[in-house]
Structure 1
Amino acid sequence: MSENKKNKVQTGPYKPTLILHGGAGRIAWENLPPALYKQYENSLLSYVTETRKLLDDGANALTAAVHAVALMEEDPLFNCGRGSVFTEKGTIEMEASVMVTSVRPEAGTSPAEVNGGIPPEAFQKRAASVILVTQTRHPIKLAEQVLIHTAEQVGGVSRHCQLSGIEIEETGFKEWGLERKSKEWFWTKKRWEEHLRGLRKADGGSKGVLLDISTADEGLGDGYALPSQGTVGCVCLDSWGNIVAATSTGGLTNKKPGRVGDTPTVGAGFWAESWAEPAPIHPGHQHQYSSLRVRDELLGIFKADLWNITSCIPFLNTILGLEEKPNAVPQHQRLLAHEKPQLAYTMQQPSLACPNDRAPQFGSGHLPKSRRRAIGISGTGNGDSFLRVAAARTVGALSRFQGRPLNESLPLVAGALGELQQSAGNRWGTGEGEGGMIAIELVDSRLEGEVVWDFNCGGMWRAFWDEERDEGKVMVFKEAYEDH
């Protein structure tokens, strides 16, 4: 057993895990030399390892996710914080967001010490984002503070989930002790050269999503490429069953000043929620539930005149479990009862790790035992495409309302030929519709979450924890970089 495993301290019943992303786009093996790949690998491996240790030491998911993203905001490799891209006017406008949920419904009303340290205010608000950030060293920390402060604590913040501009930044500096940095601190040579090259493009289109930029200052030579769609994100599950998605970006290279992307837009670039659903039926109980289904259908069919029928066929009282005949129902009420819609019984798609045994929806009082599922999602890519299809929320809706496991829902949006790609239409190949997502799903009874990701473009930087090896792992393509 590794020393890391020996020293783990778990304060709740669930096994912590996490996944990070560092951007997606037209990343190609020929444009990613080993030295540059190693830089990304070293950075992401360091961040995922450090954050996993926080979780293992008892940190809550909000603290851990914000910590991971703040580390990436310090790293010029990524399009966020100090590595943010420029607008067409040569300015920097950053965005960040956080969203929380818990597989335990009581988390939103419990004291912080009960739900793993996340303040109850965070669950009440669920999501928060900041836009047009220009001076805050860590935009993700500003989003975190907006999430956890209520009207009683800071009058100007109220219960708002989305705030922009210098006023919220000033609140961060004066009320919450966040660090202010000059515009020069955010300037990097690579992003500035990318900005200038983009301006020189005659068509001004999205061909600049992946640009050749100088990397001579890092000893890598000229002509290598970095993806400007380098939005970063982290999804964390802590030992208390809390899931948090945190995302930060500088936006698109040479975007219009004032442009708002998917990163601060709830449901587009990020999402987190939990819900109750019928638990899967054990094969040995299938006959029992089938009988209940027939029973409820009969009750629906005969609900108005059932007592007249059972007076002729008394043994139906026993079969259907009916009580003694009540007082007579007036004729007009019985006619109205006939007009009410009947219940629909549908077999939904299989849920997580339970193929072909999804429980049908029974009538009132006959639901099988329920369970809770929770998900957290963070996206990266062409933000306008994410906005058009409400990408992250669409993934969540597929899981919640169709009963699909997250590893089925996410590829339907972010995978090859998914909703994002389809939204690009004949502009596919220009950068539109490109992107990827990372996510975690937890079922309350399983105690371990499932890490999920997919993307429809050349590559997506991601780092996650390999539970079998008990170590961090970094990938950019579908297969290992070394396999190319």
Structure 2
Amino acid sequence: MTTTTSTSDKPPLPALFKPTLILHGGAGAIHRSTLPPDLYAQYHASLLKYLRSTRALLESGASALDAAVHAVSLMEDDPLFNCGRGSVFTAAGTIEMEASLMVCSVNPAHPFEVGIIKRGAGVMGLRNVRHPIQLAREVLVRSGRKDGRRHGGAGGGGGGEDEDDRGSMHSQLVGPYVEDVLARQWGLEFKPDEWFFTQRRWEEHLRGLRGEAETVTMSQGTVGCVCLDQGGGLAVATSTGGLTNKLPGRIGDTPTLGAGFWAEAWEEKGEEEVVRSGGEEMWYGRAEVGIEDRVKKGIWDMTLGDCLPGMVREGVDWMYGSLRSTEDEASWNHEAWSEKERLMAQKKRSRRAVAVSGTGNGDSFLRTAAARTACAISRFSTPNLSLAEAVAAVAGPRGELQRSAGDRWGLTGEGQGGIIGIEAELDESVTNGGELKQGKVVFDFNCGGLWRAWMEDIGDGKEVERVMVFKDEYK
């Protein structure tokens, strides 16, 4: 099996986080009665093997981008999964594959190869490139230069005329051009049609054309991986053959930003220190004066600072200056603060980052913009919800995906699916050499099963390998 470009020539990432990852191998109407022990054992063994391999790569200092592409490349070569070699067939008996990548970082100084802090790319309509995820990577990191060179390097800096080149900015590219021209120009590996043919998928295709129900269904086996590297970088990689007997040309959620995958990082507004000075309770280094404080704090809770980048905190002070009383003016005079008050009034600031990958009924993910919706719920809720809570609100039982199916729920497979993800937070005070931070693995699903593999933190610095498909253990 081939994997990703070697990372041995790249400088090691600064150690801020304990490497974290989770894989998924598909979700849908999977039930114990239709999942024989031998098939379960095959999925379990494959996912465990890929989990260990990817974990070792992260622990060696690889970036989340390299690790996520590595994991998905392995699954694209495994006929068990609906991607790469195990892709399902269209109604016309052809194979059309899709893949996507997105990166962000909780650490603004993270040296991602793409040269910018958040970027995603999707490729679709692929037929013969061996690893669609590796083509998605090339689209992500290649520059827009005619010579096809990458911009920057491991440090994202580059030099010379490439230094300000931030790429073509194309977020989605479809075959045949991206495969027949760009993939060949970039030296990706190709395989003939026979490589992608599997008897199992062909029989599923034929039964579907005849209108026969599947007794053992794993056709919704879209794969994905979310990784957090030791430098605080997050990457999500997703790959699929799509929906069994889909119409040729159908585009699903996997290569569509915000539907089947998403990653983003942001600076939390946080809460100000509450201090006491001369018997007065202070908020942000001044006396609490009532409604003005609550109004002003509410503005920032609603993220107007993000919507109106020209507006700074002093600007909000000015807008609501008429609410101040003359006797309170001294408490607003920053020059009158003592040094102790200045230090105590520093804002508690942190950065959060999230990345998610979805699997299931892709059209439902598209209709609900499921991946971005989950991340937005976590980011913009007041107070902030955890990513786990946000994912549950979208992909969990009675969540947004299920509700989107309406009266078709339970009849057609519409709305079924699951989401995996990782959430990370970095405090301004964290520096190299301290205790390593940990990311939080999350997942939820509303259907029979979700194949997933992850490292579970059990406390005291210990982790265990976990591979599951149902809510509880397979027996």
CA distance in 2, matches of 1:472, 1:437: 19
Residue identity in the other structure for 1:119: E
Alignment CA distance shift 1:279-1:293 (3 Å) = farther
Residues 305/24 of structure 1: CA separation in 2 closer, same or farther (3 Å cut): closer
Q: Which amino acid aligns with 1:319?
A: S
Residue 444 in structure 1 maps to residue 426 in structure 2? yes
Matches of 1:137 and 1:378, distance apart in 2:
21
Give the Cα–Cα distance (whole angstroms) in 1 for the partners of residues 423 and 289 of structure 2: 30
**Which of 329, 335, 340 is the equivalent residue of 1:317?**
329
1:76-475 → structure 2 map (5 Å cutoff): 76-107=79-110, 115=111, 118-121=112-115, 123=116, 126-152=119-145, 154=147, 158-201=168-211, 211-212=214-215, 225-279=216-270, 288-289=282-283, 291-292=287-288, 294=290, 296=293, 303-304=321-322, 310=326, 315-321=327-333, 368-402=347-381, 403-429=384-410, 430-445=412-427, 447-468=437-458, 470-475=463-468
Tell me how far 1:105 sits from its aligned partner: 2.2
Contact 1:10–1:57 (Cα < 8 Å) also in 2: no
- Supply the distance in 2 between the matched residues of 1:416 and 1:66 (Cα, whole angstroms): 30
1:357 aligns to what? none
1:356 is matched with none
SS at match of 1:462: strand
RMSD: 2.6
Greater Rg, structure 1 or structure 2?
A: 1
CA distances 1:183-231 after superposition (whole Å, capped 9, x unpaired): 11100000000000000018xxxxx5xx23xxxxxxxxxxxx1321100
| 1:43-82 alpha-carbon deviations (Å, 9 max, x no partner) | 0000000000000011110000000001000111100000
Task: Determine if contact 2:68/2:225 at 8 Å carries over to the other structure.
Answer: yes
**Cα shift at 1:278:** 2.4
Q: State the 1:283 CA deviation.
A: 8.1
CA contact (8 A) 2:135 2:183 kept: no
* Structure 1 stretch displaced more, 167-176 or 471-480: 167-176
Structure with the higher fraction of residues in helix conformation: 1
Whole-angstrom CA distance in 2 between matches of 1:61 and 1:241: 9
Larger deviation, residues 289-298 vs 259-268: 289-298
Residue aligning to 2:24: 21
The verdict on how the C-alpha distance between 1:279 and 1:153 changes in structure 2, with shifts beyond 3 A counting, is: farther
Matching of residue 47 in structure 1 with residue 50 in structure 2: yes
CA distance in 2, matches of 1:175, 1:410: 39
CA distance in 1, matches of 2:320, 2:409: 55
Partner of 1:343: none
Partners of 1:51 and 1:322 in 2: CA distance: 51
Aligned to 1:111: none
SS at match of 1:279: coil
Contact 2:105 2:234 in 1 (8 A): yes
Percentage of matched positions with identical amino acids: 53
Q: Residue 97 of structure 1 contacts residue 130 of structure 1 at CA under 8 Å; is this kept in 2?
A: yes
Q: SS state of the match for residue 467, structure 1?
A: strand
Deviation per CA, 1:352-388: give whole Å up to 9, x if none. Answer: xxxxxxxxxxxxxx88322100001000000000000
| 1:176/1:381 CA distance change after superposition, 3 Å | same
Could you tell me which residue of structure 2 aligns to residue 354 of structure 1?
none
Q: Which runs of 5+ in 2 are unaligned?
A: 1-11, 150-166, 297-316, 337-344, 428-435
Change (3 A) 1:283 1:193: farther
Give the whole-Å Cα distance in 1 for the aligned partners of 2:13 and 2:464: 17
Question: How many residue pairs are counted as aligned between the two chains?
Answer: 398
Q: 1:305 to 1:132 in 2, by over 3 A?
A: closer
How far the C-alpha of 1:124 sits from its partner, in A, is 5.9
- Structure 1: 5+ residue runs without aligned partners? 1-8, 108-114, 203-207, 213-224, 325-365
Change (3 A) 1:253 1:154: farther
- Tell me the secondary structure at the aligned position of residue 357 of structure 2: strand
Of the structure 1 ranges 233-242 and 149-158, higher mean CA displacement relative to structure 2 is found in: 149-158
